[in-house]
Amino acid sequence: MGKIGITNYKEFDEIIKPFFWVDHGTTASVCLNIGGYKDEIFQSREDEGFEGGGYDWEALARVFITEQVPELKKIVSFDSEGSMFCAYSENKNALKDFILRFKDACENEKLILDLFSRAELD
């Protein structure tokens, strides 16, 4: 994790909260239990059917990858459910890079709302 400036897993876990890392041995996933975090993003388009569920987060993450980190498009995959957002990869360093950048984008209200304006309901 040195490449991305994280010195230990505890620090990494704190930085990505409320997302959380799950190591599966040869693969890893990063997940988010739905409810509470950045609900205002999805409320901005609730009249279009966005509710802030896992699939809505996935739609947002797909726009983020396409526009901000296209080099990860074929490396990071998704397996979200209604109550949980989930991204996964066999390339753990790429997944770490994704979640650090995505979390940072989520904290930038102007950027995340701009990206979300192009998200499409599945």
pLDDT averages per 10-residue partition of the chain, 122 residues:
57 96 96 95 94 96 98 98 97 97 97 96 80
Tokens found for residue 106: 């989520």
- 1 lies in some domain: no
- 58 lies in some domain: yes
pLDDT given at position 9: 77
pLDDT given at position 10: 85
- 122 lies in some domain: no
pLDDT given at position 20: 97
pLDDT given at position 1: 41
Pick the closest to residue 29 from 96, 81, 82, 74 (CA basis).
96
Range of the domain at 87: 6-116
Number of domains in the chain: 1
- Cβ proximity of 103 and 15 under 8 Å: yes
Tell me 107's DSSP state: T
Q: Count of CB atoms within 10 A of residue 51's CB?
A: 15
Distance CA 38, CA 35 (A): 8
pLDDT given at position 117: 96
Tokens found for residue 27: 């693969």
